[in-house]
A and B are shown apart, each in its own frame.
Chain A
């Protein structure tokens, strides 16, 4: 029963009595419970800036839209209506219609779903691979660490979006391949964070104590090392989500993301660009959505960082 014996170091941010929380759902649960009832209530409140609340608000709206897209969209997003071609915004079509008479509002709403799903998937891929490799390198060290770190340096040397373009061009553009390519590109960030934190935690006495108690590697990693920097991981994941949303839009914009008629925001923007002079709403609304959503997620990420990792 190592939990009872080991005690957290005094400046430790997260109480390590938390049971292993591997999926994001329970992480957020952890956060929510700790904020109002935890001991450190006042300190954390003090760090919840206005930016955090704006970011959280926008992100909630985006996620809500993505989740309830079928309920929110007034028309099927793929329905072609010859008679409603290139209509400007009106009460019937809040964002207007495109050249095929499809309702842009419905398409933008469904676009949130595609954008969030693809960027969340790519962040999940990055995090999964990055954290696993980071633990391996940081915990076992030696030749493994050496090889993995060199590999990551090579990986990092490539401009990530460019490499993603190459991968998608090779595999063929599709939602899955784009999310995969972007996911691989994000691995280095998670790797470096995990490796660094693992290395520094390993020297802590509570890890030594756990080892002395005979705890296995997996147990040490997930019980004693991971909780130390789970908050940093959440921050990194949130910030990456914004970056990925932008990257997914960028790849779709150049035709390497979703395939038509998928209403991804970047693809909508690319399509709207052709009609910029006669139907500006086709570019304005998807463009504004990308900007606002990415800004919101980044504000949330920054706010979380300030709240969870206050500068000493």
Chain B
């Protein structure tokens, strides 16, 4: 009897479990006409403050484009497009740029976006923005003059073609002067802008919630909808661990996440409810040689080692295809990139490596290692602990071993790597840069930056002079020619072996429609809508 009662309860229990698990309805809210709904995006680390001119961080650069507008933006093809500025003039000598602002724009605090706000933004930047990556570009502005309410003029001591790169970065977002004054009084860390979303709440360590800006009607031409965004809320959920983010994405707790692990990319390719958007980033991962240390200060040695590298294998094995093979120091997303540079590439050719080493005076000993005057050709490859550097370094090590060069790997924390390169304490370097303009070459390879951003201590007076000319050349064609010529010499000198251009991959759940990737892989939400989930 007791047994039967127990069986009965077990059946009831199982039945209720089964019915309870069945889908009783689909998503209740979201897709009413006119939009609405919430998009949730995962964020790895939150910003320390919301101030475009404050300490830069990955969190800050993720938040800025939605809360702040810049004068101009760049489209996918690198062309400069209007945002707050409807138009602009550049003077003959290139030393004056006048911006004409759109009418009727308001910051989220209700104050107008005007010429005075633009002037205030950049004046404040010069004072507080010392740590910002675009500080170097901002301090080149000699003077900012308010011509009338909606017209503002920037003057420079020298023509400054890279200025467009500076002011289209999210860090150059125009801020409300009233909010800056208020923030200073209160010792606050939240500055107000005029972007398509308004900051609603920020729960430290949990989430940053933004709501639609209903007054927005000055969207850039890079999106279809210049008015207020369709979705009513956009939330950044702070999830530090990538594996946890992935689980949240698959469970539907998060709609958008940034993919940086090859394994996650492989896994999501088989998931039909998730769209993967791939964009080429403005950056480069390269193998660098310490150009001031023997024997890597010799061009022949650098060329020989460059020829040993099989980039395709790195991309397939270490990245699972999450990268594009590089041959030039500048990526295709930047002006100055030229497909013709592929001829100058030091491609995979182990035989050539050996020929070049012999030419440099090295002899292969009986164990297959290269020797010159009793000195073995060997070295240490320095890189950061960031994935997938360990795997790339391991593959490079095997490539060098194949031509008979023993390389040891040293993985340090990023800051320690930068300190070591600053002091010249390395032989080979696996490193990356990300930049918004062709002046990346000036920053990372000109000799006045040796010991700082020129980590490989490369120095060639001819290249220096070409880069310097290009930096101040106003005529686009001449400027690009100068950069092309500089890159041809750089590829011959081989301070860097360009390995691959990084791609940014955003995984987006199917219910988010019309989300686009903009310049530098930025997620544009102006056109986004919430639809119904296709499956499940």
What residues make up the interface of A, taking CB atoms closer than 8 Å to B?
78, 80, 82, 85, 99-101, 169, 172-174, 255, 259-261, 271, 273-279
Contacts and interface: CB of A to CB of B under 8 A. Distances in A.
A276 B318 contact: no
A279 B262 CA distance: 12
Interface stretch (B39-47, B184-192, B333-341, B404-412): B404-412
Contacts of A274: 243, 261-263, 387
Nearest to A275: B263
A259 B317 contact: no
Contacts of A82: 313, 316-317
Contacts of B320: 99
Given A173-B411, A173-B412, A277-B264, 10 more contacts: A80-B317, A172-B412, A259-B408, A259-B409, A259-B411, A260-B391, A261-B409, A273-B243, A274-B387, A276-B243
A80 B263 contact: no
B267 interface: yes
Contacts of A169: 413
The 4 closest A-B pairs by CB, nearest first: A260-B390, A255-B385, A261-B394, A275-B263
Given A259-B409, A259-B411, A260-B409, A277 B317 contact: no
A99 B317 contact: yes
B394 A260 contact: yes
Interface in B89-144: none
Contact of A100 (B267, B395, B409): B395
Contacts of A260: 390-391, 393-394, 409, 411
Contacts of B408: 259
B534 to A, nearest CB: 22
5 contacts: A78-B394, A82-B317, A100-B391, A259-B410, A278-B267
Contact of A172 (B394, B409, B410): B410
Interface residues of B, number: 29
Contacts of A255: 385, 411
Interface in B374-409: 385, 387, 390-391, 393-395, 397-398, 408-409
Interface in B197-212: none
B262 A99 contact: yes
Given A82-B313, A173-B411, A274-B263, A100 B394 contact: yes
Nearest to A101: B317
A278 B266 CA distance: 8
Contacts of B416: 172
B412 A80 contact: no
B535 to A, nearest CB: 19
A85 B266 CA distance: 13
A99 B411 CA distance: 19
Interface of B: 243, 246, 261-264, 266-267, 313, 316-318, 320, 385, 387, 390-391, 393-395, 397-398, 408-413, 416
Contacts of A173: 410-412
Contacts of B243: 273-274, 276
A78 B398 contact: yes
Contacts of B390: 260, 271
B263 A278 contact: yes
B259 to A, nearest CB: 12
A266 to B, nearest CB: 13
Contacts of B262: 99, 274
Nearest to A277: B267
Contacts of B385: 255
A44 B376 CA distance: 57
A235 to B, nearest CB: 37
B246 A277 contact: yes
Of listed A85, A273, A274, residue having the most chain B CB within 10 A? A274
Contacts of A275: 263
Nearest to A261: B394
A276 B241 CA distance: 14
Given A99-B317, A259-B409, A276-B243, A80 B395 contact: yes
Contacts of B391: 99-100, 260
Given A80-B398, A99-B262, A85 B317 contact: yes
Contacts of A259: 408-411
B421 to A, nearest CB: 14
A82 B320 CA distance: 11
A250 to B, nearest CB: 15
Nearest to A86: B266
A274 B261 CA distance: 7
A288 B419 CA distance: 38
A255 B316 CA distance: 24
A99 B394 CA distance: 12
A279 B263 contact: yes
A232 to B, nearest CB: 40
A154 to B, nearest CB: 27
Contacts of B411: 173, 255, 259-260
A259 B408 CA distance: 9
A156 B505 CA distance: 47
A109 to B, nearest CB: 18
Given A85-B317, A173-B412, A276-B243, A80 B267 contact: no
Contacts of A174: 410
B318 A100 contact: yes
A51 B213 CA distance: 68
Nearest to A274: B263
A78 B393 CA distance: 13
Nearest to B420: A172
A101 B262 CA distance: 15
A184 to B, nearest CB: 21
